Chains A and B, each alone.
Chain A
Amino acid sequence: SVTEIRSGFTAIKANIQARDPIRTLSILSHPQSLHKVKSSDRCCIIHNLFNFYMDKVFKHCQTEDSYINRKISSIANSFLSIKKKLEQCHNQNKCLCGQESTEKFKQILANYEGLNITSAAIKSLGELDILLDWMEKSR
């Protein structure tokens, strides 16, 4: 559940963000914050972002710290559990992507690809609360 993701993230947030030296860039919030996304595009953005985190973020966040790795595993498996539910909406065409959300997601990928993989993955993981806050506020 999102609650469990948030508690897992809270446990490692400081450690993960300390590993991200690049303070001037954001993956999720540049140039526009998620909060400007129309509610009709919400499902599509969440669906794309969950795939983004599963495919491009968690696997590149391995650390030397076993505790951190276990918490990342917890978050990733919770993501997978929610993603499978989102898949059902997506398959029933209830999760269509408008032009704006498609552009928004392209921008997030561009931000990600602007850094080397490990830095981009760590920064994306460090910004997880931005996604969680937006998901809860726009619920």
Chain B
Amino acid sequence: EDALLPSPQNISILSTNMRHFLTWSPVTIQGETVRYSVEFQGEYEREYANESWIPICECSLITATVCNITEDISATVAYNLRVRADTGARRSQWGTLKGFFNRITTSLTPPPMKVIADGYHLLVELKDMGPAFQFCVLYWKKGQESRMHWKMVKDVSSTVHLDTMEAGHDYCVKAQTYVETINRSSSFSQTQCVRAQGGRSLRL
């Protein structure tokens, strides 16, 4: 067996809004190109399939030190991840992520949102964040915070109509994301208020 390469260190996960990336520190060998390969192991593999590991072909022999593992982290169970270095002639031991990764720990950010007063119509535009995301939108007439309305929005491909406003009144909106598969919500976005027609329409 050729002299072993040092295995990759500082292996960690960056997970935001259900998009998961494995990163690690580069292994540097003077005058050689070092490539990396990544494998994953779900709870099923540990408990039912002899602790087998599954290669991620998009991250086989890559030079980058990051791998998008979103496609493979597709269940709310504990995953193991590992990466090794390879120069062609020499190869490292596997470096394994310390602890498991479960997508339930992803960080959820408030959704980007744009509130529009279109005449008497209160509209909101939300960014499509992927199939796992729904949006809980709260809206109310300014000053009547105790009488908030809410709407659950699944399809954000088009502008969402929230309400018909009274002329000249101000209406406010805030939204949060909800991910059913992990049963968690983000914090709310900044509140945005607009004024209905029949008064100067401005962003307050």
Which residues of A does B touch, CB under 8 Å?
A: 1, 3-4, 7-8, 54-55, 58-59, 66-67, 69-70, 73-74, 76-81
Q: Considering only CB atoms, which chain A residue lies closest to B74 in the complex?
A: A74
Q: Which of A58, A73, A77, A78 is most buried by chain B, counting CB atoms within 10 A of its CB? A: A77
Minimum CB–CB distance for A12 against chain B, Å: 13
**Within the assembled complex, what's the spacing in Å between the Cα atoms of A4 and B78?**
17
Contact flag A81-B45 (CB < 8 Å), given A66-B55, A66-B57: no
B47 touches A80 (CB 8 A): yes
Which residues of B does A touch, CB under 8 Å?
A: 40, 42-45, 47-49, 54-57, 71-72, 74-77, 79, 131, 180-181
Q: Considering only CB atoms, which chain B residue lies closest to A54 in the complex?
A: B48
Contact flag A58-B57 (CB < 8 Å), given A77-B42, A81-B77: no
Q: Which of B54, B71, B76, B181 is most buried by chain A, counting CB atoms within 10 A of its CB? A: B76
B54 touches A78 (CB 8 A): no
Contact flag A54-B44 (CB < 8 Å), given A70-B54, A70-B56: yes
Contact flag A55-B48 (CB < 8 Å), given A1-B181, A77-B75, A80-B75: yes
Q: Considering only CB atoms, which chain A residue lies closest to B181 in the complex?
A: A1
What are 19 pairs between A and B in contact, CB < 8 Å? A1-B180, A3-B181, A4-B74, A55-B48, A58-B48, A59-B48, A66-B54, A66-B55, A66-B57, A69-B54, A73-B40, A73-B45, A74-B72, A76-B45, A77-B42, A77-B77, A80-B48, A81-B76, A81-B77
**Within the assembled complex, what's the spacing in Å between the Cα atoms of A67 and B55?**
10
Q: For the complex, would chain B's binding face be called helix, strand, loop or mixed by DSSP majority?
A: loop
Inter-chain contacts of A70 with B (CB < 8 A): 54, 56, 71-72
Inter-chain contacts of A58 with B (CB < 8 A): 44, 48-49
Q: Which of B44, B47, B49, B71 is most buried by chain A, counting CB atoms within 10 A of its CB? A: B44
Minimum CB–CB distance for B21 against chain A, Å: 17
5 new A-B contacts at CB < 8 Å, known A58-B49, A70-B72, A78-B75: A1-B180, A70-B71, A73-B44, A73-B54, A80-B47
Minimum CB–CB distance for A72 against chain B, Å: 9
**Within the assembled complex, what's the spacing in Å between the Cα atoms of A74 and B48?**
14
A76 touches B42 (CB 8 A): yes
Contact flag A59-B72 (CB < 8 Å), given A1-B180, A80-B43: no
Inter-chain contacts of B47 with A (CB < 8 A): 80
Inter-chain contacts of A59 with B (CB < 8 A): 48-49
Q: Considering only CB atoms, which chain B residue lies closest to A66 in the complex?
A: B57
Contact flag A79-B180 (CB < 8 Å), given A69-B54, A70-B56: no
A76 touches B44 (CB 8 A): yes
**Within the assembled complex, what's the spacing in Å between the Cα atoms of A78 and B79?**
12
Minimum CB–CB distance for A23 against chain B, Å: 29
Q: Considering only CB atoms, which chain B residue lies closest to A1 in the complex?
A: B181
**Within the assembled complex, what's the spacing in Å between the Cα atoms of A59 and B45?**
9
A73 touches B181 (CB 8 A): no
Inter-chain contacts of B71 with A (CB < 8 A): 70, 74
**Within the assembled complex, what's the spacing in Å between the Cα atoms of A66 and B60?**
12
Inter-chain contacts of B40 with A (CB < 8 A): 73
